[in-house]
Amino acid sequence: MGGMLLQSRDLFDRGGFNYQYVTECKPSDKQLQSLGFAMKIVKHTKSNAIVIADGTKTVGIGAGQTSRIDSALIATLKAGERAQGAVAASDAFFPMPDGLETLALAGVKAVVQPGGSKKDPEVIETANRHGISMVFTGERHFKH
């Protein structure tokens, strides 16, 4: 009572993507295009969101959950075998490596996320261990 939630407009995709490459494995040009597509889709998806894409096709979405791991589990379940070799976008950072681990076990090969977690070094190490390309944007999306 007596309060309100105010959210500013998310203008992220108007200025292009400024990726910070944080893993040993770098994404291919094809993966970068797919990551850009996935990031545009995740921007419009209810937080906490994970979008799995193959090219310009969305193959799995996990959204509106209270934890990123639950969103990752739902997205990989929805994608099924289509997650093999696909890319994923997260609307916010991975607070723990478990969400990324879930994507890796499903076959996702590249991930875009804002970064900014205290556990970024652990998440990056998880990506390196699985041979996943990961890029940070520095921009979070929260659609509530």
Instruction: Domain 19-136: give its CATH superfamily.
Output: AICAR transformylase, duplication domain (3.40.140.20)
Distance of alpha carbon 33 from alpha carbon 108, whole angstroms: 15
Specify the pLDDT at position 32: 94
Q: Are 59 and 85 in contact (CB under 8 A)?
A: no
Tell me the pLDDT tens digit for each residue of 13-62: 544 567 899 999 999 999 999 999 999 899 888 888 999 999 999 999 99
- Work out the angle at residue 66's Cα, subtended by the Cα atoms of residues 51 and 114, and round it to the nearest 5 degrees: 50
Tell me the pLDDT tens digit for each residue of 92-141: 999 999 999 999 999 999 999 999 999 999 999 999 999 999 999 987 66
Asked whether the predicted pLDDT for residue 11 surpasses 80, the reply is no
Mean of pLDDT values over 59-66: 94
Q: Closest Cα partner for 78 from 55, 61, 95? A: 61
Q: What does the domain layout of the chain look like in residue ranges?
A: 19-136
Q: Are 34 and 55 in contact (CB under 8 A)?
A: yes
Specify the pLDDT at position 94: 94
Q: Are 13 and 39 in contact (CB under 8 A)?
A: yes
Asked whether the predicted pLDDT for residue 79 surpasses 80, the reply is yes
Answer yes or no: pTM beyond 0.85: yes
Residue 10: how many CA atoms within 13 Å on its side-chain side? Answer: 17
